[in-house]
């Protein structure tokens, strides 16, 4: 019998007879402090997403991590922006990958959210690492890596240069909806935790979870597909669950009840009782 088949058989039996063995009990203030509070694109409920303003606020609000979206300019600079176009969150237009770094840097990424954020620039990946490592964890999402060939190597190089590829250093997690990209990141940075993002129930079957467990440390589903069974299965396979995106207290409370390990939220105060 192959090693993989033995693994699948053993896990299946353990889940069959004790599927919820690792689920959290009814949450208390104490257990809530143990759930990682991840500020989604920074404290983006209160400041423009993926800007220094939002990340600084997340630090002030005592979040455990900031979540950032990494893409690449036409001339090869790694920058932080969620959409593959700049239209929604800046005063510019066009695809991120078609604009030079100088063009991207000249855009106003703050005033769309509020006048007080007028002139907030699009940050670079490296300046975020330099500004925040040691202050707060960084959950790095590779956004549409399939349109930026070689971005995995660039991200890995930036982390290695700062000794952030080793677990004894500050908290770093890398995630994406692109599973092949995450397999590659696991090969490049075997000591950095890897996460897979999904909103598809097809990615929560035991077969899918077993595949993820060969290279990932986190399974990060949208909160609409989170169940006690899913959390129990992920935990039984030795992985963690981080769910997104929380924009209400009710959603945060639901995820606490499900026993997740991290809550990714626009509003860090919904997760941390200190706020």
Chain segment 142-187, per-residue pLDDT in tens: 999 999 999 999 999 999 999 999 876 669 999 999 999 999 999 9
Within-domain flag for 4: no
**Is 158 domain-assigned?**
yes
Q: How confident is the model at residue 34 (pLDDT cuts 50, 70, 90)?
A: confident
* Annotated catalytic residue 82: yes
What's phi and psi for 44, nearest 5 deg? -75, -5
Q: How many domains does the chain have?
A: 1
Over pLDDT 90: what percentage of the chain?
84
Q: What are the tokens at 241? A: 């669950």
pTM for the model stands at 0.89
Q: Is residue 180 part of a domain?
A: yes
Q: Which residues contact 238 (CB under 8 A, 6 or more apart)?
A: 213
Instruction: Determine how β-strand 65-72 pairs with β-strand 36-40.
Output: parallel
Q: Are 151 and 70 in contact (CB under 8 A)?
A: yes
Closest by Cα among 39, 94, 82, 91 to 61:
39
- The CATH number for 154's domain is 3.20.20.190
Q: Does a structural domain hold residue 95?
A: yes
Query: 79: helix, coil or strand?
Result: strand
Question: With bands split at pLDDT 50, 70 and 90, how would you rate the model's confidence at 202?
Answer: very high
Q: Flag whether 275 is in a domain.
A: no
Q: Going along 84-236, which residue ranges are E strands? A: 137-142, 172-176, 194-198, 218-221
Instruction: Provide the 3-class DSSP secondary structure of residue 7.
Output: helix
In a domain, 191, yes or no: yes
Mean pLDDT of 41-64: 98
Of 82, 95, 133, 235, which residue is the catalytic one? Answer: 82
Residue 188 lies in a domain: yes
Helix (H) or strand (E) holding 198: strand 194-198
pLDDT in tens, 104-129: 999 999 999 999 999 999 999 999 99
Above 50 in pLDDT, residue 26?
A: no
Residue 11 lies in a domain: no
User: Which DSSP category does 123 fall into?
Assistant: P
In the structure, what pLDDT confidence band is assigned to residue 273 with cuts at 50, 70 and 90? low
Q: How many CB atoms lie within 10 A of CB 223?
A: 20
- Residue numbers of the domain that contains 207: 35-270
Q: Could you count the other beta carbons within 10 Å of the beta carbon of residue 100?
A: 13
Q: What is the mean pLDDT of the chain?
A: 90
Catalytic residue list contains 40 = yes
């Amino acid at each position: 019998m192959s090693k993989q088949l033995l693994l699948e058989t053993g896990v299946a039996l353990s889940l069959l007879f004790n599927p919820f063995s690792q689920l959290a009990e009814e949450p208390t203030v104490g257990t809530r402090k143990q759930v990682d509070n991840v500020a989604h694109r920074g404290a983006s409920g209160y400041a423009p997403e993926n800007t220094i303003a939002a990340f600084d606020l997340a630090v002030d609000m005592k979040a455990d991590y900031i979540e950032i979206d990494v893409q690449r300019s036409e001339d090869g600079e790694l920058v932080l922006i969620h959409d593959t176009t700049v239209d929604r969150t800046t005063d510019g237009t066009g695809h991120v990958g078609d604009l030079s770094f100088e063009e991207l840097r000249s855009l106003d990424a703050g005033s769309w959210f509020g006048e007080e954020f007028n002139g907030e620039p699009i940050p670079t990946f490296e300046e975020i690492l330099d500004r925040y490592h040691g202050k707060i964890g960084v959950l790095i999402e590779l956004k549409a890596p399939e349109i930026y060939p070689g971005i995995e190597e660039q991200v890995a190089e930036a982390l290695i240069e700062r000794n952030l590829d080793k677990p004894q250093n500050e908290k770093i997690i890398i995630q994406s909806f692109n599973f092949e990209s995450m397999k590659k990141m696991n090969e490049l940075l075997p000591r950095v935790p890897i996460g897979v993002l999904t909103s598809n129930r097809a990615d929560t079957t035991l077969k899918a979870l077993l595949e993820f467990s060969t290279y990932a440390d986190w399974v990060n589903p949208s909160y609409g597909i989170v169940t006690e069974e899913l959390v129990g299965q992920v935990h039984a396979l030795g992985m963690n669950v981080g769910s997104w995106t929380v924009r209400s207290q009710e959603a945060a409370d639901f995820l606490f009840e499900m026993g997740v390990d991290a809550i990714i939220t626009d509003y860090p105060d919904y997760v941390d009782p200190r706020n």
